[in-house]
Amino acid sequence: MSNLDVLLLDDEPIVGKRLKPALAKVGCEVEVFQNPVEALKRIDEKDFDIVVTDISMAEVDGMQVLEHVVAKNNATKVIMITGFAMMSLAREAMEKGAFDFIAKPFKPDDLRAIIARAAEALGKPIAFEAGESA
């Protein structure tokens, strides 16, 4: 079992603070960013297995991050998170190549379940069973 490289981008510090240890527990190497410009620079430097990005951010929104990732490495799975769960946005994200979409508020297990599916799709399964504590 190999570790998954995950980039987590959300402009709310609490999101990264909560999710990084939750994802590390299932074997993910997580880099957390609050600034999308810095995250894009890092994406240019390194191929991540999975990018988890908020949609609503000030300078660069999650859709732009999604487009950037897909253009750079089509194999990277992008999971969109947002506090504004709108079906039209979800549909647009999926059409642009997002792996999945999750609406805030969600539990760490909800995201880990999606990460586990993305890991399967990448051929890098992780040890995760729903119901594990955060």
Query: Model confidence over 71-91: pLDDT tens digits?
Result: 999 999 999 998 766 778 888
3-state secondary structure 31-89: EEECCHHHHHHHHHHCCCCEEEEECCCCCCCHHHHHHHHHHHCCCCEEEEEECCCCHHH
pTM: 0.92
The CA angle 119-32-112, to the nearest 5 degrees, is 35
> Which ranges of the chain have pLDDT less than 70?
1-2, 84-85, 130-134
State the DSSP code for 7. Answer: E
Question: What pLDDT sits at residue 132?
Answer: 52
